[in-house]
Chain A
Amino acid sequence: MMESASRLSPSFARPNSRVAIRSAKNYEMDLSALLVETLRELDLPVRGKTVLLKPNFVGPDPSGTINTHPAVVAAARESFLRLGAAKVMVGDGPALERDTEAIAESMRLREYLGPLAASFVDLNLDEVHRVPLRAGASSLRELYLPDTVLGTDLIVSMPKLKTHHWAGVTLSLKNMFGIVPGSCYGWPKNILHWAGITRALLDINSTVRPHFAIVDGIVGMEGNGPIQGMAKPCGVLVLGDDPVAVDATCARMMGLAPERIEHIAQAGLLLGHIREQNIRQFGESITSVRTEFAVLPEFRKLRASA
Chain B
Amino acid sequence: MLALAGGEERLEAESATMRGIRWLLAVQLPDGSWPAYPGQDEGCWVTSLACLTLHQLGVAPEAVTKGIDWLGDAWPGEGRLWQRILRRLSSRPAVTRQNHSLRGWSWTRGTSSWVEPTACALILLHNIFGPTLPRRLAKRRRLAEAMLYDRMCPNGGWNSGNPFVYGVAGEPLVGPTVWALLALQRHQERAENQRSLDWLASVSERTPGPSSLALAHLCLETYGRPTQELEPALRRLYATNEFLQNIPALAHAALALDPTRTWLQVSTKGGGRS
Contact = CB atoms under 8 A, between A and B. Distances in A.
Contact of B207 (A102, A117, A190, A298): A102
Contact of A183 (B36, B92, B168, B244): B36
Interface of B: 36-37, 39-40, 44-45, 77, 92, 95, 106-108, 110-112, 114, 116-117, 159-160, 165-166, 168, 171, 173-175, 207-212, 237, 240-249
Nearest to B239: A115
A296 interface: yes
Given A102-B207, A117-B242, A184 B40 contact: yes
A193 B209 CA distance: 28
B114 A188 contact: yes
Contacts of A100: 209, 244, 246
Given A187-B114, A228-B168, 10 more contacts: A102-B208, A102-B212, A120-B244, A125-B247, A125-B248, A144-B37, A165-B165, A193-B111, A194-B112, A298-B95
Contact of A190 (B36, B114, B159, B173): B114
A102 B211 contact: yes
Interface in A92-150: 96-106, 110, 115-117, 120, 122, 125, 128, 130, 144
Contacts of B240: 105, 110, 115
B249 A190 contact: no
Contacts of A97: 173, 175
A144 B244 CA distance: 21
Contact of A224 (B111, B165, B212): B165
Contacts of B110: 194
A187 B107 contact: yes
A27 interface: no
Contacts of B114: 186-188, 190
Nearest to A182: B107
Interface residues of A, number: 38
A230 to B, nearest CB: 12
The prevalent SS among residues of B at the interface is mixed
A298 B159 CA distance: 24
Contacts of A296: 166
A185 interface: yes
Contacts of B244: 100-101, 104, 116-117, 120, 122
Nearest to A115: B241
Nearest to A125: B246
B242 A186 contact: no
Interface pairs A-B: 8 shortest CB-CB: A186-B107, A102-B209, A105-B208, A99-B209, A117-B242, A184-B36, A99-B211, A190-B111
B115 to A, nearest CB: 9
A191 interface: yes
A101 B208 contact: yes
A219 interface: no
Given A117-B245, A185-B108, A99 B37 contact: no
Contacts of B247: 125
Contact of B40 (A103, A117, A144, A298): A144
A186 B117 contact: yes
B54 to A, nearest CB: 20
B146 to A, nearest CB: 20
Interface in A203-237: 224, 227-228
Interface string A187-204: 110110110000000000
A91 to B, nearest CB: 11
A228 B116 CA distance: 22
Contact of A191 (B37, B95, B107, B165): B107
Contacts of A128: 37
Contacts of B106: 186, 190
8 contacts: A96-B159, A97-B173, A99-B175, A115-B240, A116-B241, A128-B37, A165-B95, A194-B111
Nearest to A107: B208
Contact of B108 (A103, A120, A191, A228): A191
A298 B95 CA distance: 10
Nearest to A117: B242
Contacts of A99: 174-175, 207, 209-212, 249
Contacts of B108: 184-186, 190-191
A58 to B, nearest CB: 11
A191 B114 CA distance: 12
A71 B95 CA distance: 34
Interface string A287-306: 00000000010100000000
